[in-house]
Amino acid sequence: MNLWFESALLEDGWADRVRLVLADGRIAAVEAGVDPVVGDDRHFVALPGLPNVHSHAFQRAMAGLAEARGRTDDDFWSWRDLMYRFVGRIGPEECEAIAALAYAEMLEAGFTRVGEFHYLHHAPDGSRYDDVAEMSGRIAAAADAAGIGLTLLPVFYAHGGFGGQPAGAAQGRFLNDVDGFAALVERAASKLAPDGVIGIAPHSLRAVTPEELRELLPVANGGPVHIHIAEQIKEVADCVAWSGKRPVRWLLDEVSVDARWTLVHATHVEPDEVAGIVASGAVAGLCPITEANLGDGLFPAAEFMALGGMIGVGSDSNVRIDAAEELRLLEYGQRLTRGARNVLAGEDRAATGARLFAAAVAGGGRSLGVETGLAVGRPADIVSLDRTDPAFAERKGDALIDSWVFASRRAVDCVWRGGVKQAEGGRHRDRDAIEARYRAALARLTA
Ligand code: NGQ
Ligand code: ZN
């Protein structure tokens, strides 16, 4: 079915009365300033689907369970201990059920593709499943069930700290050597849908030695490479103690970081590191909700974007899945620390929410190895806004996106992914079944 919108944010800007002709999951033609044709599915406003560059889907199931004080000095590391205890209980069926709900909720929020930074590879005791890529297959099945695009980033994890420290018992499910990892990635790739993308993710400089990192990079085979890099102050200090350099500096100096790379949580960076990321072409993978939730700190987004750096946003721990909120919190972090407004607005685009949205669509596509945006030949990944939300009354153009990001409560109406309508009225087409499966999995997990 073809689509018609009162207005649409096309690749080259806003247009009114837009028809999108769809074929084979892509946009086959864009007609602006036209009337709808009988049979067209008519809607209010079309935006490009937003990529979600960083997710650990399984963590959705512990959302809200880590918000009570366990020790007076609760921090990222005590949260991680809790998360690891949770990890030990998740089998293949639970993984698939939780991921399917997380992905359905991502679609409802306006995310049309997810970068799954996937490290739950093995059985809870660390032994291999009969199929070494069993859990990757479950992630792929969940993405298919929900209908979200998947860029699968199998994680390489081998150590428990900088300089090749041994991994802890709770990390046994994550571990591979480089050869085993290469085999896992190949097998995982064979499980993806035709528009799936495979990449790799060295977990962090804590989990990989320099030798391993250099050996494993060819496994990416031209696909995306994602890494957690400088999320916590302690992580930066440990890296300096080990190497004499901060994590981003070390990475830029020691491996050839380029536009295929995404640096997730490059939170703690000095000006030379900011400039270095920009020059490399790597995407900064920002996860404002999770970074706030975990007490990580603030990435210098204003400096980075002013230099032309590319950003993507990710829902990471999935404590809350909300595309607009990620962008809003990204800006609010800047406002709160600088005592200024519209900090991340652009020279070329005064509307802050619209500027961040466009940046995250473009950077997200680069990060996940796909083309994004509404233009001929691009995947038909489309979000329509809900005309019944009074937040959109008398809004046009970029003010619509600003109103979504900063003011709306029920902005998303329909979401198409690969030309298929996956959500309508803000609700996933298969929400009931996906939710029932999730509830059953949670009952087993907490039994
Ligand atoms: C993760 N999450 O891999 O799920 C991590 C925590 C770690 C975030 N960094 C574990 N937000 O970094 O060691
Ligand atoms: Zn992460």
Q: What is the pLDDT of residues 258-279, one digit of tens each?
A: 999 999 999 999 999 999 999 9
Mean pLDDT of 357-375: 98
Q: Is pLDDT above 90 for 72? A: no
Question: What's the pLDDT at 407?
Answer: 98
Contact 408, 391 (CB under 8 A): yes
Q: What is the pTM of this model?
A: 0.98
Mean pLDDT of 345-374: 97
Pocket test for ligand 1, best of 227, 231, 294, 313 (most atoms within 8 A of CB): 231
Question: What's the pLDDT at 403?
Answer: 98
CA dihedral 99, 330, 206, 243 (to 10 degrees): 160
Domains of the chain, earliest start first: 2-48+381-433 (2.30.40.10), 50-368 (3.20.20.140)
Say yes or no: CB of residue 378 within 6 Å of ligand 1.
no
Question: What's the pLDDT at 266?
Answer: 98
Say yes or no: CB of residue 118 within 6 Å of ligand 1.
no
C-alpha 315 – ligand 2 centre gap (Å): 9
Query: Percent of the chain, pLDDT > 90?
Result: 98
Q: In this predicted structure, which of 69-78, 229-238, 369-378 has the lowest mean pLDDT? A: 69-78
HSE toward the beta carbon, residue 6, CA cutoff 13 A: 12
C-alpha 120 – ligand 2 centre gap (Å): 12
Mean pLDDT of 400-415: 97
Question: What's the pLDDT at 446?
Answer: 86
HSE toward the beta carbon, residue 48, CA cutoff 13 A: 31
Backbone φ and ψ of 251, nearest 5°: -60, -45
Question: What's the pLDDT at 357?
Answer: 98
Q: What is the pLDDT of residues 4-56, one digit of tens each?
A: 999 999 999 999 999 999 999 999 999 999 999 999 999 999 999 999 999 99
Atom 3 of ligand 1 has which residue's CA nearest to it? 203
Contact 191, 136 (CB under 8 A): yes
Q: Please state at what angle helix 323-338 crosses helix 352-368, rounded to 10 degrees.
A: 120
What tokens does 337 get? 């620390």
Question: What's the pLDDT at 354?
Answer: 98
HSE toward the beta carbon, residue 244, CA cutoff 13 A: 2
Mean pLDDT of 248-261: 98
Question: What's the pLDDT at 447?
Answer: 83
Question: What's the pLDDT at 425?
Answer: 98
Residues surrounding ion ligand 2 at CB below 5 Å: 316
What are the catalytic residues?
265, 316
Say yes or no: CB of residue 60 within 6 Å of ligand 1.
no
Mean pLDDT of 390-404: 98
Instruction: Please state, rounded to an integer, the average pLDDT across all residues of the chain.
Output: 98
Question: What's the pLDDT at 301?
Answer: 98
Q: Is pLDDT above 90 for 201? A: yes
Q: What is the pLDDT of residues 286-337, one digit of tens each?
A: 999 999 999 999 999 999 999 999 999 999 999 999 999 999 999 999 999 9
Please, is 129 exposed, middle or buried when counting C-beta atoms within 10 Å of its C-beta (0-12, 13-18, 19+)?
middle
- Residue 352 or 410, more confident: 352
Mean pLDDT of 214-232: 98
C-alpha 293 – ligand 2 centre gap (Å): 13
Q: Under the phi-then-psi rule, with left for phi > 0, alpha for psi from -120 to 50, and beta for the rest, what region is 318? A: left
Rounded Cα gap, residues 81 and 87, in angstroms: 10
Mean pLDDT of 379-406: 98
